[in-house]
Amino acid sequence: MSAGVAPLVTLDDIRAAAERVRGTAMRTPVMPLPWPAAGEVHPFVIKCENLQPMGAFKVRGAFNMLAQLPADARARGVITYSSGNHGQGVAMAARAMGVPAVIVMPTTAPGVKVEGVRSYGAEVIFAGTTSIDRQTRAEQEAAARGLAIIPPFDHPMIIAGQGTVGLELLEQVPDLGTVYVPMGGGGLIAGVATAIKLSRPDVRVVGVEPTGAMKMRAARDAGHPVMLETTSSIGDGIMNMRAGDITFAHVRQYVDDLVAVPDDAMAKAVAWLFRNARIVAEPSGAASTAAVMLGLGAPVGTVVAIVSGGNVQPDHFAKYITTS
């Protein structure tokens, strides 16, 4: 690990996070479904993080970090930068604690996610189209207004909170063999992989990103996170241009394989999940199922795909389920 990168999150960190988020983050259900791929058949289960109150797993990490801020920092307020789901998670957690919240979002953020942030009483600021644009604006606002920054993924408290998904999976699917996890900046897979590998090192962990935003694969190939020149994907929640330093350290330590799925596969997975599970998944959340449908990742045993979010524009969702 390079100098300056925080130590890896521990299993005790994740267990402590589970106690903090209890009652705010929902213990989401798992659902057995037909095997979605051709060829070799495995028991298949989805973990429905799209059913969180704000529609995605992000509330776990957000609440875990807010709960550990000093009282004076909470009183001044918090700020984050997000394409949508983390912003909603921070807004929901902040409202639960009576903390003022500001969310910096891209000008291209889906309306359903902007509306979700505002529904929790948070202030929205729009800044550019990239994660760098909104991070820069958030840092400026934080300095000017004395706000505490709640980063979207690259922080041990965020990773520990997201890792509670992994703890639940180990209890809900005792014969777990392989888990597929969508990857943006890497907070979810860092936490899930840590929880699982420190409990059941035999379980296979596969990270899934869009072919138009393979930032984790680029980091693996280079040996450290690198900035992609451009990204493009319908999976707006996993379209980051760079993996996190801390998240990549966890991925390098605990993740068995990294795979990538094209946009059409994510759209087909959204439609498949609707037809077979009657759930609403956004393309980012369906990336894990898309990887299974494509036969990627060399699965073993009972396979779980984490459906990480369900905040999708209604007109886009209608297109996916009628044309894919």
Distance in angstroms between the alpha carbons of the first and the last residue of the chain: 42
Cα 42 from Cα 237, distance rounded (Å): 28
Catalytic residues: 58, 308
Query: Could you tell me the two tokens for 15?
Result: 């267990």
- Comparing CA positions, the residue from 180, 132, 163 lying closest to residue 294 is 180
Confirm if 45 and 31 have CB atoms less than 8 A apart: yes
Q: Is 8 helix (H, G, I), strand (E, B) or coil?
A: coil
Report CA torsion sign: 119, 124, 129, 131.
Answer: negative
Neighbours of 100 (CB within 10 A): 17
Distances (CA, A) of 295 to 37, 111, 184, 299: 6, 33, 21, 8
Q: Which residues are CB-contacts of 310 (< 8 A; sequence separation ≥ 6)? A: 50, 51, 55, 56, 279, 280, 281, 282, 285
Phi-psi region of 125 (alpha: psi -120 to 50; beta: other; left: phi over 0): beta
pLDDT (0 to 100) of residue 130? 81
Query: Could you tell me the two tokens for 314?
Result: 């209604």
Residues forming a β-bridge with 250:
none
Confirm if 135 and 81 have CB atoms less than 8 A apart: yes
Could you give the dihedral angle defined by the CA atoms of residues 29, 52, 262 and 188, in that order, rounded to the nearest 10 degrees? -90
Cα 281 from Cα 275, distance rounded (Å): 11
Query: Could you tell me the two tokens for 231?
Result: 């990204």
* Residue-by-residue pLDDT tens, the chain, 324 positions: 444 677 899 999 999 999 999 999 999 999 999 999 999 999 999 999 999 999 999 999 999 999 999 999 999 999 999 888 999 999 999 999 999 999 999 998 888 889 999 999 999 999 988 878 899 999 999 999 999 999 999 999 999 999 999 999 999 999 999 999 999 999 999 999 999 999 999 999 999 999 999 999 999 999 999 999 999 999 999 998 999 999 999 999 999 999 999 999 999 999 999 999 999 999 999 999 999 999 999 999 999 999 999 999 999 999 999 987
Neighbours of 144 (CB within 10 A): 8
Give the model confidence (pLDDT) of 75-93 as tens digits: 999 999 988 899 999 999 9
Nearest 5°: the CA angle 256, 303, 305 is: 85
